[in-house]
A = this chain, B = another copy of it.
Amino acid sequence: MLETNGERLWDSLMAMAEIGATANGGSSRLALSKEDAAGRALFVEWAVAEGLTVVRDTIGNLFARRAGCEDRAPVVLGSHLDTQPKGGRFDGVLGVLAALEAVRTLNEKRIETRAPLEIANWTNEEGARFTPAMLGSSVFAGAMTLTEGLARVDADGTSVADSLAATAQAGDMRLGRDMDAYFELHIEQGPVLEDNANTIGVVTGGQAIRWLDIRVTGKAGHAGTTPMPVRRDGMFAAAELMRVVEQRAGETSGLLATIGEIHVDHGSRNTIAGDLRLTLDLRHPQDDVVDAAIDELRGLFNDICERRGLAYDMSVHWRSPALPFDADCVAQVRDAAAALDCDWQDMISGAGHDAFHLARHCPTAMIFIPCADGLSHHEAESIEPEHAKIGADVLLNAALARAGRA
């Protein structure tokens, strides 16, 4: 098996982290900001030095191409260079720079591939400046129209189109062109690999996600004058709904339930909560398991609210079906991990990634490495250099298997 140069990869990661470096050791390169443009420029400089051909598409996705012996659809390796406002040094960046390290290794060892290789840097993956997240890959793969993508504005009202122009990141490469396969290396952003003491996660797909909006309609009232028995307290009702959600999640292995937001309309400390809004994020590798949980929760919520004399409404805000990755690409990742004799496991991706959009466009797989304490979207995001190197090794060998050695 080929091995990458871990030191060179780490040096590149550290050099990129200097662009938009934050006081607490993170990076701040919001999509299409001048910091993001500087990060892209550094990447382009490195890519050109490796003899790669750099092109951009109309939504600013950046591709660095290494020709193959055969003129056909490329095997693409990538991720994103943009970060959260106070982001870490590895989320996304690792996938792009490990792809660069793979190419550097091939160049160094004068290995040619049959299919061309491309490194992709997708625009606005984080969604921190422009919503939605994964905007560039979404437009590339046709989940969002170019017009819609260009029209998205940030908090200051600046559009993607204007930001692309200001940073000279728009190109004319065709959206949705053929790709032979897509491989993305990423930090796990969760604790599973670390807890299992594994180095490589062979990602078999994305889980089913449902974002639900719950509205509880009780009756506001004076905290000092309303006897408990006549109250229709939205807060205590919400507490009981939340308990039921937690209990239901505990009954099904792998079912994730998160209530991340709760808002009391016109809330004050001496007013009984009348109307409340809660969010519910439910995830599981299988669609039918999530949907069955939702049905069951509706019944439980009905019982609770009927008993309490309150009304509730639960609507689906976003439904993302479970997304299995391509069996062949997953096998290529798994084979590479096994051949490299590292500690690996199959796993599902809990977070969203550009690879999810690509998976609807071409055969796709992902590779995870651990991040300390599962922490990401944070300046303290941390990985082991050795893990980064092994991740790059798996990426290189899986891509090479796919592209074919000339």
Contact = CB atoms under 8 A, between A and B. Distances in A.
A235 interface: yes
Interface stretch (A47-55, A109-117, A225-233): A225-233
A190 interface: yes
Contact of A374 (B225, B239, B257, B262): B225
Interface in A254-296: 255-262, 264, 267-273, 279, 281, 283
Interface stretch (A170-178, A242-250, A391-399): A242-250
Number of copies: 2
B249 A224 contact: no
Contacts of A316: none
Contacts of A350: 222-226
A189 B223 CA distance: 10
A207 interface: yes
A285 B268 CA distance: 22
B250 A242 contact: no
A188 interface: yes
Nearest to A221: B374
A190 B270 CA distance: 13
Contacts of A260: 223, 235, 264, 267-273
A372 interface: no
B250 A236 contact: no
A230 B374 CA distance: 11
A209 interface: yes
Task: Name the interface size band of chain A.
Answer: 35 or more
Nearest to A245: B236
Nearest to A225: B190
Contacts of A246: 233, 236, 239
A25 interface: no
A192 interface: yes
A138 interface: no
B222 A376 contact: yes
A238 B236 CA distance: 11
Contact of A191 (B230, B238, B245): B230
Contact of A242 (B190, B224, B227, B239): B239
A195 interface: yes
A347 to B, nearest CB: 10
A351 interface: yes
Contacts of A271: 258, 260
A332 to B, nearest CB: 24
Contacts of A239: 238-240, 242-243, 246, 259
Given A209-B224, A257-B228, A260-B269, A242 B235 contact: yes
A242 B225 CA distance: 20
Given A228-B249, A279-B269, A236 B222 contact: no
A211 interface: yes
Contacts of A376: 222
Interface string A335-359: 0000000000000011110000000
Which 4 residue pairs spanning A and B have beta carbons closest together? A190-B225, A225-B350, A224-B350, A239-B242
12 contacts: A191-B225, A222-B351, A222-B377, A223-B283, A225-B351, A228-B249, A228-B255, A228-B256, A239-B243, A239-B246, A258-B272, A262-B267
Interface of A: 188-192, 195, 207, 209, 211, 221-228, 230, 233, 235-236, 238-240, 242-243, 245-246, 249-250, 255-262, 264, 267-273, 279, 281, 283, 349-352, 374, 376-377
